Amino acid sequence: MKKQDFTVLKIADLHPFPDNPFHLVEDELLMEMAESIKEFGVVTPIITRPKKDGNGYEVIAGQRRVRASQLAGVETIPAFVLPLDCDRAIITLVDSNIQRENILPSERAFAYKMKLEAMKRQGYRTDLTSSQVGTKLRTDETVAQGFGIGKTTVQRYIRLTELIPPILQMVDEGQIALTPAVELSFLKKDEQENLRITMESEDATPSLSQAQRMKKLSQMGRLDMDTIFAIMTEEKANQRETVKIGMDKLRKYFPRGTTPKQIEDAILRLLERELQRKRNRDSR
């Protein structure tokens, strides 16, 4: 079927594209779209491809229009049905969605990665570390040019896919900025988990300087839980005065593997018991 020809599909026959990096958020804009569809219908056809098993169609572009149509009580939708292979479908999906407003860093990261890998499979240069001069652009350069950004930006976002989900969610929520997040992506998964535990227990996130130091220590094989805790509990200029006890002084009192949070909780419980005993003595 030619691209300019479209048909009308039953919404019940539509399925999400596998591993779509763009999340469907049922926000106020979606509700407004549903109201518009009730009145005017879907103006721009969605893009689909037939499922391999012949059981319906995968939505490549237009998942918000599909959901808004469902909310509007509409049962059919105009659609282009294109004979795209998986890689061409991925490239089309990313190109059709990446310019939307309010895209999360994680969505952008996985979208760039998916397109880069699809283009590599289609025969673009894969020597991404090569500095050899040639007439054919590197794959990351091609992706970057297609989005009107620099290749370094593409590479930095793709690094975010190496973060464990809880830390990546903190990037999406704006708790950790992009630049330190990229540095943290070089930490091993168990080191990231130790960092997550420490951030939660200390209610703190790393600065760029702290992230860079942890990355360097990780590369040297010297980033353990105690080191992460020491870095994350450094007193900053805008922090109120606190009492700090080095982990090296506390470790001998606790079993191996005890987290900083567990140590803190145990100390507070002991202090609370001592306070209660003191009050009991004073009341006699």
Tens digits of per-residue pLDDT, 184-234?
A: 999 999 999 999 999 999 999 999 999 999 999 999 999 999 999 999 998
Kind of pairing, strands 57-61 and 14-16? parallel
Binning pLDDT at 50, 70 and 90, where does residue 5 land? confident
Contact of 194 with 225, CB cutoff 8 Å: yes
Coil, strand or helix at 171? helix
Question: pLDDT, tens digit, for every residue of 61-99?
Answer: 999 999 999 999 999 999 999 999 999 999 999 988 888
Going 266 to 272 to 273 to 275, the CA torsion angle's sign is: positive
pLDDT at position 210, please? 95
CATH of 7-92, picked from 3.40.190.10, 3.90.1530.30, 3.30.420.40, 3.20.20.210, is 3.90.1530.30
Mean pLDDT (the chain, rounded): 85
The beta-carbon contacts of 92-95 under 8 Å, at least 24 apart in sequence, are 92/47, 92/60, 92/61, 93/17, 93/20, 93/22, 93/60, 93/61, 94/21, 95/146
- Nearest to residue 71, comparing CAs of 43, 41, 35? 35
Question: pLDDT, tens digit, for every residue of 116-132?
Answer: 888 888 775 444 333 33
**E strand residue ranges, 126-186:** none
Q: Which residues contact 134 (CB under 8 A, 6 or more apart)?
A: 125
pLDDT at position 128, please? 39
> How far apart (Å, rounded) are the C-alpha atoms in residues 61 and 99?
12
110, pLDDT greater than 50: yes
Task: Give the CA count within 13 Å in the CB-facing half-sphere of 229.
Answer: 20
> How far apart (Å, rounded) are the C-alpha atoms in residues 78 and 10?
9
* Mean pLDDT computed over 101-106: 86
Neighbours of 75 (CB within 10 A): 10
4, pLDDT greater than 60: no
Question: pLDDT, tens digit, for every residue of 125-161?
Answer: 444 333 333 334 566 666 656 666 678 888 999 999 9
Kind of pairing, strands 7-10 and 76-81? antiparallel
Coil, strand or helix at 196? helix
Kind of pairing, strands 57-61 and 7-10? unpaired
- Exposed / middle / buried, residue 15 (Cβ in 10 Å: 0-12, 13-18, 19+): middle
**E strand residue ranges, 42-190:** 46-50, 57-61, 76-81
pTM (predicted TM-score): 0.70
Structure tokens that stand for 276 in this block: 């209660």
